[in-house]
Amino acid sequence: MSPSAEAQPQPVAPATTTAPILRVEHVTHAFGGVNAINDCSFEVQTGSITALIGPNGAGKSTMVNVISGFYPLQQGQILFDGQSVRGLAAHSIAQRGLIRTFQISRDYGAMTVLENLMVPPKHQVGENLFNVFFRPWLVAREEKELVRKALDMLNTFGLYEKREDYARSLSGGQKRLLEMARALMADPKMLLLDEPMAGVNPALADRLAQHIMDLRGKGLTVLMIEHNLGIVDQIAQDVVVMANGTTLARGTMVEIRSHPEVISAYLGGA
């Protein structure tokens, strides 16, 4: 091995005994011949909160779009819960239990807050016309249960008093809470959160952080893109750093903060 190779800083990989629920293996994604992601690999351990951080333009949002099926997987492999997601549409990946939120909150503005939460649950019996016409009692029973679940969720996220309001009337922070609550109505195995703290005040950011930690306490896995490194330090067990479309380092925030390549990437604007 050459002296220069020996001096090359290596990504930090924290020891873990849990199995990965998500494997990203040598993924590359290009737009017009320019690689937004370039041979990027990392894992997310089951039951963890993993933060995906890096300078602007590092490829983080593109990566989340590829993982969730909003962009096609061009090169490499992505395994979720032990199975490849290659060729699957976004809704098919979501049905497997991988649910995402967006950097800019998306809601059904012309529907009430409660109605927004009634949309995501999959395999509803009311989607079958036979049940609607010949087993209406079954449809009514399930809808009653979904309403109860939705109201409980709104209460958890502090939106119960807004249940009859139109979603478009909510503040930006409340829409963040609504989007997270709506994602949980689909009973995910893993949540992909794209900058959940973006545009919210510090008090609400702390509330969102607590909700995310509570979700982990219930066994849910979270992968989040986040620029608020204070929040990352507070709640993430594992941190993956991207720069120039690839994985630069991995470790705890304490380890990441002292990593020379990470410091260079942030200060140098990689």
CA–CA gap between residue 142 and residue 131 (Å, rounded): 11
182 occurs within a structural domain: no
Q: If you ran DSSP here, which 8-state letter would residue 33 be given?
A: T
For 25-82, how does the pLDDT look when each residue is reduced to its tens digit (9 = 90+)? Answer: 999 999 988 999 999 999 999 999 999 999 888 999 999 999 999 999 999 999 999 9
- Please say if the pLDDT value at position 102 is more than 50: yes
56 occurs within a structural domain: yes
4 occurs within a structural domain: no
The rounded mean pLDDT for the chain is 82
Check whether residue 115 and residue 153 sit in a common domain: yes
Specify the range with the lowest mean pLDDT, choosing from 5-19, 98-112, 138-152, 155-169: 5-19
Check whether residue 14 and residue 145 sit in a common domain: no
Contact assessment for residue 221 and residue 130, using Cβ atoms and an 8 Å cutoff: no
Q: Name which residue leads in pLDDT, 40 or 227.
A: 40
- Please say if the pLDDT value at position 11 is more than 60: no
> Among residues 134, 169, 204, which one ends one of the domains?
169
Domain hosting 90: range is 9-107+187-268
CA–CA gap between residue 251 and residue 253 (Å, rounded): 7
Check whether residue 196 and residue 241 sit in a common domain: yes
Torsion region of 244: left, alpha or beta (phi above 0 gives left; psi -120 to 50 gives alpha): left
239 occurs within a structural domain: yes
Rounded to two decimals, the pTM is 0.79
Check whether residue 197 and residue 72 sit in a common domain: yes
Check whether residue 194 and residue 264 sit in a common domain: yes
Check whether residue 117 and residue 153 sit in a common domain: yes
CA–CA gap between residue 16 and residue 173 (Å, rounded): 34
Average pLDDT over residues 79-87: 95
Check whether residue 15 and residue 98 sit in a common domain: yes
Check whether residue 145 and residue 240 sit in a common domain: no
- Percentage above 70 pLDDT, the chain: 81
Q: Which residues contact 91 (CB under 8 A, 6 or more apart)?
A: 69
User: What's phi and psi for 42, nearest 5 deg?
Assistant: -170, 170
* C-alpha dihedral, 64 to 70 to 73 to 77, nearest 10°: 50
**Burial of 198 per CB tally in 10 Å (0-12, 13-18, 19+):** middle
139 occurs within a structural domain: yes
Specify the range with the lowest mean pLDDT, choosing from 55-59, 134-138, 164-168: 134-138
- CATH number of the domain at 55, please: 3.40.50.300
178 occurs within a structural domain: no
> Among residues 169, 197, 220, which one ends one of the domains?
169
88 occurs within a structural domain: yes
Provide the H-helix boundaries in the chain.
Answer: 3-7, 60-67, 90-95, 113-118, 129-134, 136-156, 172-184, 202-217, 229-235, 253-257, 260-268
46 occurs within a structural domain: yes
Check whether residue 195 and residue 256 sit in a common domain: yes
Check whether residue 103 and residue 113 sit in a common domain: no
Check whether residue 91 and residue 121 sit in a common domain: no
What pLDDT does 241 receive?
Answer: 95
What pLDDT does 96 receive?
Answer: 92
Check whether residue 125 and residue 94 sit in a common domain: no
Number of domain units in the chain: 2
